[in-house]
């Protein structure tokens, strides 16, 4: 396996080529393009499908999301097109699940989109690090994403720093979860009902679209967002083929079981056990991941 880190091509990522393949998956799994989660995703995609993989992240060791240019996806595809690749998919989870949807809505060359635990709107930008005893805080007038140099319209968070971090910490502690922000996102929509310009234009996505999420997700109400995207497609002209993979149990980490095993070979359940629902329903969560593995494998 050859790894090429690219910092001067309009994006930050690692290209993992497979000789003889003209297909590529843009994988935004993990916080950095060469962290453990990213490498596990590469192993899973290449072991099962023998395709090229491009892992992307905002920038080296930057775990926040602030006005990230959507054009980076286009630049990554241009790099791969120059190497004979002509078929593209994209996959992301959580915030990068949202990013995957937005990117696919802008680039028709993407004909397979896998969005795990994604929102149906553009989120406000946020930063991660250490600040006043908190590890995450909202930006100031910043979106998570930008297009042509301008921040994309976003749903503003209900709280500012330091209340933002305090509320998230309290919600996680109350529920017995590693992290939780569902109440905050619900409050954000109550204070600022979603506007059309903030919604992701999923009707512009081409090819196959897989929306994956669980009812017991405590980061945000993933399945409600999925159903809103389904409803949007039901009333707007579109060319994509939607597959809704909504489960009762699965937590925020609705990864295929094989990918979980690449991440944690000796204890795949440890990821979902970071959430109370994962500890209470381990068998159901595993059944969810096994079904996701089957459905995603069939789509690819």
| pLDDT tens digits, one per residue of 162-206 | 999 999 999 999 999 999 999 999 999 999 999 999 999 999 999
Q: How many CA atoms lie within 13 A of 51 on its CB side?
A: 23
Show the CA angle centred on residue 105, arms to residues 101 and 107, nearest 5°.
115
What is the number of alpha carbons within 13 Å of residue 83 lying toward its C-beta? 19
Angle between helices 71-81 and 95-106 (to 10 degrees): 70
C-alpha–C-alpha distance, residues 120 and 126, integer Å: 17
Our CA dihedral for 48, 113, 57, 200, rounded to 10 degrees, sits at -160
* Minimum mean pLDDT range among 141-150, 176-185, 265-274: 265-274
- Please, which residues bridge with residue 147 across strands? 150
Residue 1 has pLDDT above 60, yes or no: no
> CA 103, CA 7: separation in Å to the nearest integer?
20
Q: What is the pLDDT of residue 110?
A: 99
Give the chain's end-to-end CA distance (angstroms, integer).
21
Query: Rounded distance, CA 202 to CA 226, Å?
Result: 11
Q: Is 148 helix (H, G, I), strand (E, B) or coil?
A: coil
pTM for this predicted structure = 0.95
Give CA–CA dist 71/146, Å, rounded: 8
Distance, in Å, from the CA atom of 99 to the CA atom of 146, rounded to the nearest integer, reads 11
Indicate if the pLDDT at residue 62 is higher than 60.
Answer: yes
The closest alpha carbon to 210, from 121, 100, 134, belongs to: 100
Predicted pLDDT at 173: 96
Q: Give the separation between CA 10 and CA 71, rounded to whole angstroms.
A: 8
pLDDT at 4: 65
Do 136 and 126 form a contact (C-beta atoms < 8 A)? Answer: yes
pLDDT of residue 2: 61
The CATH code for residues 4-299 is 3.40.50.1820
Average pLDDT over residues 142-158: 97
* pLDDT of 3: 64
Q: What is the pLDDT of residues 238-265, one digit of tens each?
A: 999 999 999 999 999 999 999 999 998 8
Contacts of 231 (CB under 8 A, 6+ apart): none
User: Bridge-partner residues for 180, per DSSP?
Assistant: none
């Amino acid at each position: 396996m050859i790894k090429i880190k690219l910092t001067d091509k309009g994006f930050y990522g690692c290209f993992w080529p497979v000789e003889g393949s003209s297909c590529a998956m843009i994988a935004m799994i993990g916080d950095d393009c060469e962290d453990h989660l990213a490498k596990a995703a590469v192993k899973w995609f290449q072991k099962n499908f023998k395709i090229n993989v491009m892992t992307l992240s905002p920038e080296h060791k930057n775990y926040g999301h602030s006005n990230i240019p959507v054009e980076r996806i286009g630049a990554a595809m241009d790099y791969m097109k120059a190497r004979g690749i002509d078929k593209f998919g994209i996959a992301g989870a959580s915030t990068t699940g949202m990013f995957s949807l937005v990117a696919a809505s802008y680039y028709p060359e993407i004909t397979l989109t896998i969005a795990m635990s994604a929102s149906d709107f553009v989120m406000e930008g946020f930063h991660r690090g250490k600040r006043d005893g908190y590890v995450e805080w909202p930006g100031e007038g910043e979106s998570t994403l930008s297009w042509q140099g301008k921040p994309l319209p976003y749903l503003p968070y209900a709280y500012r720093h330091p209340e933002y971090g305090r509320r998230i910490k309290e919600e996680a502690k109350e529920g017995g979860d590693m992290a939780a922000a569902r109440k905050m996102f619900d409050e954000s929509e109550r204070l600022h009902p979603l506007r059309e310009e903030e919604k992701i234009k999923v009707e512009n996505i081409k090819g196959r679209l897989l929306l994956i999420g669980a009812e017991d997700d405590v980061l945000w109400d993933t399945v409600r967002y999925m159903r809103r995207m389904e409803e949007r497609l039901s009333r707007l002209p579109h060319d994509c083929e939607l597959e809704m993979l909504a489960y009762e149990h699965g937590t925020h980490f609705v990864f295929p079981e094989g990918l979980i095993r690449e991440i944690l070979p000796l204890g795949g359940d440890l990821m979902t056990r970071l959430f109370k629902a994962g500890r209470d329903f381990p068998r159901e969560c595993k059944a969810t991941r096994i079904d996701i593995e089957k459905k995603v494998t069939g789509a690819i």
